[in-house]
Structure 1
Amino acid sequence: MSDATEKFDAAMSAWREWQEAPWGRLRYTIAEANLVRHFDEPADSPLRVLDLAGGDGGDALRLAARGHHVTIVDYTPAMLTTAAERADAAGLTDLIACVEADVNALPAEVADGEFDVVLCHSLLQYVDDVRHTLAASLAPLRSGGLFSAMAINRHSVPLTVAVREMDLAAAVAALDTDQARTQMFDSALTLRTAEEIARHLSDLGCQDLHHYGIRSVCDYITDDARKRDPAFYEDLERLELALTGRHPYMHTARLFQLVGRKLE
């Protein structure tokens, strides 16, 4: 087992707590809303979805609950085991398949799968050659299929450091670096911007790109306890959904999401 896999496996408990927190719930709710608005009609037609680096099924379970068939690819066994357990508990086992593999070395049955939808969420900040990873991610997508990429937004980091940590010197320093670190998984990150990823996707044959922001305001509200109040959370979610595709808020949101189609 690699060091990276051991780190991810050891962080499972903290990861599940994060997912269930208001900021984690917003991440999945908004990403799903942005994605499904681009699904082909009829809306009730089952799609074949590939969830790359899909972890414990946070995105996959939501799409399977809509009746779509989802294949989760991840290289961390503990994540896939949890994904299978969650699918079983939700009665979605028949709609979710788990494949242990690296995104840059997909097995033939996945690489040649001609999927209708491919997700590449929360992966790009962990790779060095982002263009290579994007090309590998697009390969299993059929012509005209839908692609969704999501990553930490580099533009958000100086603001997050200034507002949440009140460390203005560190915020200034963050303006001129694309390097960071995640405490939860104890891993180095390379921060990207939506503009950078959009250029790569356009070059690789992805068209009609739509730029969304995820957690446009949540991470700049320092009272985390207030976000756990159901009424406040309901208002926060409504605001986030209203802002996700609205200029200029997507440019400073904590995460960016790009949704487009592979050239036919």
Structure 2
Amino acid sequence: MPDPMRPRAALRTAVVWDVLREALDDRVAVTGRKALDVLDTGGGSGHFAVPVARLGHRVTVVDPSPNALFALERRAAEEGVAERVRGVQGDAHGLFEVVEREGYDAVLCHGVLEYVDDPAEGLRNVTGALREAGALSLLAAGLGGAVLARALAGHFKEARRALTDTEGRWGEGDPVPRRFTPEQLTALAEEAGIGVGAVHGVRVFADLVPGALVDTEPGALDALLQLEAAAAELPAFRSVATQLHVLGVKRVTQGE
């Protein structure tokens, strides 16, 4: 259970956090360094960056929002990890204006590809920030989850539109510019030079279960967290997840 996350918020992050923490432990074992250099693109106020810093790693957060970076600074100070967290203003397309190439053991790219103008270019930049065999944690909006949610809410036309739209949007009022299928997201990662190790469905059930049930039924939260973890790697459930998580490593090209 990810202790840095509040219980209710853990429903949205538990699967990703558990996988990420294990990946960081693996990099520590491979590199022999207890403190890794980690880049969090679009990391905002530090929802993942601060817990990663609490593990002892050095984290650079790149985000376009000054307000988010201010919140990050305050959060890191409150958690006692200010010396291990650095925030810089920027985005995925201009990444190397603010960080160095091949300077990081691990990169988090969470909630970024939905919003950038060119996901392929953005992901190539993110991969370029990784050192040889560095780990990538990629999280993006899933198409199937949006279709299912609109259908269960009775918005059948919107569900069908999302299903057939090239960007996976259900209408003009859709706040998410782009969604992905598992195949699309893994293809983007592979084209960017990432060897995909695992794909997880995130929030398969959490967004469909009434909050009152989770908050009031004894043991419901833990049971739902265990259910999410059990379903995360099953292909049948990945296809209907609200978010998709890809974990991979930067491939070593011939001659390197």
- Give the TM interval when normalised to the shorter protein: 0.7 to 0.9
Give the structure 2 partner of residue 11 of structure 1: none
Count of equivalent residues? 241
Give the structure 2 partner of residue 126 of structure 1: 115
Give the structure 2 partner of residue 228 of structure 1: 215
Matched, 1:26 2:11: yes
When the two chains are superposed, the root-mean-square deviation of aligned CA atoms in Å is 2.3
Give the one of 192, 195, 198 matched to 2:186. 198
Give the structure 2 partner of residue 156 of structure 1: 145
Unaligned segments of structure 1, at least 5 residues: 1-18
Matched, 1:179 2:186: no
Post-superposition CA distance 1:39-63 (Å, at most 9, x none): 3253982211100000110011111
- Letter paired with 2:169: Q
Give the structure 2 partner of residue 13 of structure 1: none
| Contact 1:182–1:188 (Cα < 8 Å) also in 2 | no
Moved more, 173-182 or 147-156: 173-182
Give the structure 2 partner of residue 3 of structure 1: none
- Letter paired with 1:121: H
Post-superposition CA distance 1:130-184 (Å, at most 9, x none): 1011111111100100001111101211111112x2222322222111225798x
2: CA distance, partners of 1:125 / 1:218: 21
Percent identity over paired residues: 27
Give the structure 2 partner of residue 104 of structure 1: 93
Matched, 1:213 2:198: no
Matched, 1:71 2:60: yes
1: CA distance, partners of 2:82 / 2:76: 5
Give the structure 2 partner of residue 260 of structure 1: 248
| Contact 1:119–1:147 (Cα < 8 Å) also in 2 | yes
Unaligned segments of structure 2, at least 5 residues: none
Say which SS state the counterpart of residue 125 (structure 1) adopts: coil
The TM-score normalised by the length of structure 2 is 0.86
The TM-score normalised by the length of structure 1 is 0.84
| Bigger helix share | 1
| Contact 1:28–1:59 (Cα < 8 Å) also in 2 | no
Give the one of 207, 214, 225 matched to 1:237. 225
| Contact 2:159–2:170 (Cα < 8 Å) also in 1 | no
Give the structure 2 partner of residue 246 of structure 1: 234
